Amino acid sequence: MWLSRLLGINNGPVTEIRNGRCGELRYQGTGKYADAYYEISGTPEFDLLVWLPDMKSWSDGSSITPEERVIIQSAFQAWAKRQRVVHQWEEP
């Protein structure tokens, strides 16, 4: 993963923004983005606990539609699979 960042290789619309034991998964849309908060799990079953209920609007303030939410969550799941991250989604 660090090699991709070093070489500037884009692995899709999702970026992980770390901040200690928590962070955000950022989905980059067209001219806007949406963030989902996560924490590092304290259990061996999961690497990350991701909160999707708080992801209600885009960076420009417009609401995320149910259809867009499905697309964003699918992109997060594809990112997790590529990164080999076991996650638990907190659903709305």
- For residue 60, give its domain range: 12-90
Q: Is residue 25 part of a domain?
A: yes
Quick one: tokens of 4?
């991709």
Strand ranges in 33-91 using DSSP code E only, listed in sequence order: 33-40, 48-51, 87-90
Alpha-carbon torsion, ordered 63, 18, 30, 71, to 10 deg: -60
Name 79's Cβ contacts closer than 8 Å, sequence gap at least 6: 11, 12, 14, 16, 25, 85
Q: Is residue 4 part of a domain?
A: no
Question: CA 14, CA 10: separation in Å to the nearest integer?
Answer: 9
Q: How many domains does the chain have?
A: 1
Q: Is residue 34 part of a domain?
A: yes
Confidence at residue 85, expressed as pLDDT on a 0 to 100 scale: 86
Question: Per residue of the chain (92 residues), what is the pLDDT tens digit?
Answer: 444 545 455 568 999 999 988 999 999 988 999 999 999 888 888 888 888 888 999 999 999 999 999 999 999 999 888 888 887 877 65
Write down the pTM of the prediction: 0.79
Q: Is residue 70 part of a domain?
A: yes
